[in-house]
Amino acid sequence: MSDLGNRPDLDLDALRRSVADGGSHGDGPATPVELNPFAKQIADQFRDNNYSPTMLIGQFRLFELVSLLAIGLLACYMEPVPADSHFLTRFVVTAVGATLTVLILQLADTYLIPSIRAARRNAKRVLASWAIGFVLTYLGVSIAEGVLYPVEAATIWFLCGGTFLLCERLLTAYAIRNWARNGVMERRAVIVGGGEPAKQFIRALEQQPDNDIRICGIFDDRGSDRSPSVVAGYPKLGTFAELIEFARLARIDMLIIALPASAEARILQLLRKLWILPVDIRLAAHANRLRFRPRSYSHVGTVPMFDIFDKPIRDWDSVAKRAFDIVFTVIAITLLWPIMLGAAIAVKTTSQGPILFRQNRHGFNNEIIKVLKFRSMYTNMSDQTAVKAVTKGDPRVTPVGRFLRKSSIDELPQLFNVLKGELSLVGPRPHAVHAQTGERKYVDVIESYFARHRVKPGVTGWAQIKGLRGELDSDEKIRARTQHDLDYIENWSLLFDLKILFMTPISLLNTDNAY
């Protein structure tokens, strides 16, 4: 990685590919390390989800749009509609005007957290934006109706809208400051690397008046002589090996690597271990001589950071995906309930034991979830651990179970896992916790295996519709499936999910690898 700091315009895409490719044929990650009691205590403090600033801004923008539209319609209602006009025309013009006003407020940078927090300081910008938006709306209504809108009514409309924006933003600023103090709205970060570079970065961060990053602790492999137990007032919680476990227990948003530029090889080594986590990964750039293209930077105030990896399917994307899951899952259950009922009766009447089989599998961020399936094995032969994969003609599988597995009907109860929020309709398929190929666990075959858990697993996935179903009995199969899963995460979109969803029934016609 020697050219990391020597090429003046290095594209971070090359670095990301280097990290991901470097994890394809490694010796596997280190054995999970137990956190020390102090680190566990800190992790417990951050188990609850925090409120994303991006989500807040989106909701705030939508609230102002709806409110300005309501104020405009109320003002229009106070003024009778001309006989040769229609209320629908006035509604459409007012809606367009409210939308333009929000766009102007956006262009004036009034939808940034620092701007909203400093409501008094930015009042002039807000009023100026509202004035421009109001004039455009006023002219639009007048032109649409062919008569100048009364000045008296327009004055009341303007004053009501301006007063609303000022008062609402003052209240929101107070709420945001309160949420920041209570830890409800913040970006939680862990510093990777201690010593002087970490201290300089933390001090620079603390000097930013609008800093929304809360540092939860520091992790470093070095001894106390090079990395003291407390850096700039923040405790060292453990080693890099313990960091992965900490990030899975706590709701962490960001990992910030604060190492000197001379530690290039160490930075790449760290990235190859940490990129499997569903968090933003940043490289502190305030004191480094590394130079990247401008689009690779993000800032907290004036403190620059390199954006190495971003958390996939975040904020409004996660909301859209969840809505997609609920809508299509309800449709699927509505259409498929007769098949599910028939399968349940067949399982119950042809062999002893429960209808459903529950198995521990890896979920989002490597959490353990219980996935539902129609039982396809004889109860006394069922394998909760899935250490021994089902093979062709496996005597453990019942006759009914063989049909259910070939047709994938046994997977239909997982629709209820989707409604519970444990699975998504589309995503990397969840594997059993102890599943393995031959004598080795999947993670021992491909080091980047756990990177597929950066998103929720799915009932169906990109790998499955490409024919990668059934038994994973070779290194090549698990590598191919993992690569398809990573490609899905990298290229995710709702259209991609829709494509996979509608291609799934066609892919099920190929039962060669389904036992």
Burial of 257 (0-12, 13-18, 19+ CB in 10 A): buried
Distances (CA, A) of 261 to 45, 67, 125, 287: 33, 50, 41, 9
pLDDT band for position 82 (50/70/90)?
low
Question: Cα separation of 62 and 59, whole Å?
Answer: 5
pLDDT, average across residues 62-86: 78
Question: Cα separation of 452 and 484, whole Å?
Answer: 9
pLDDT band for position 10 (50/70/90)?
very low
Q: Are 435 and 481 in contact (CB under 8 A)?
A: no
**Position 486: which residue type?**
L
Q: Are 239 and 36 in contact (CB under 8 A)?
A: no
Most confident of 340-349, 461-470, 505-514: 340-349
Among residues 340, 338, 306, 346, the alpha carbon closest in space to that of 416 is found at 340
Write down the pLDDT at residue 133: 93
pLDDT at position 255 over 60: yes
Write down the pLDDT at residue 170: 94
pLDDT at position 173 over 80: yes
Question: Cα separation of 237 and 45, whole Å?
Answer: 14
Residues of the chain with pLDDT > 70, as a percent, come to: 83
Write down the pLDDT at residue 197: 82
Angle between helices 123-145 and 53-78 (to 10 degrees): 40
Looking at per-residue confidence, does 476 or 341 come out higher? 341
**Position 275: which residue type?**
W
Q: Are 472 and 443 in contact (CB under 8 A)?
A: no
pLDDT band for position 315 (50/70/90)?
confident
Q: DSSP secondary-structure letter at 378? A: -
Q: Are 298 and 385 in contact (CB under 8 A)?
A: no
CATH code: domain 2-50+186-311 is 3.40.50.720
User: In the chain, what are the domain boundaries?
Assistant: 2-50+186-311, 53-182, 316-507
Q: Sign (positive/negative) of CA torsion 350, 514, 457, 453?
A: positive
Write down the pLDDT at residue 259: 78
Residue that the structure tokens 């390199």 belong to: 306
A 10 A CB-CB count for 512 gives 10
Q: Which of 65-79, 376-390, 416-430, 493-507 has the lowest mean pLDDT?
A: 376-390
A 10 A CB-CB count for 399 gives 10
Q: Which of 12-16, 298-302, 330-334 has the lowest mean pLDDT?
A: 12-16
This prediction's pTM: 0.78
Secondary structure of residue 422 in the 3-state scheme: coil
Among residues 146, 142, 134, 246, the alpha carbon closest in space to that of 189 is found at 246
Tokens representing residue 353 in the block:
């034991």
Question: Cα separation of 440 and 443, whole Å?
Answer: 8
pLDDT, average across residues 394-413: 88
Following DSSP, what letter does each residue of 471-502 receive, concatenated? ---SHHHHHHHHHHHHHHHHT--HHHHHHHHH
pLDDT, average across residues 405-415: 91
A 10 A CB-CB count for 56 gives 19
Q: Are 377 and 383 in contact (CB under 8 A)?
A: yes
pLDDT at position 115 over 90: no
29-45: pLDDT as tens digits: 445 577 888 888 888 88
Looking at per-residue confidence, does 101 or 437 come out higher? 101
pLDDT, average across residues 373-378: 90
pLDDT at position 435 over 90: no
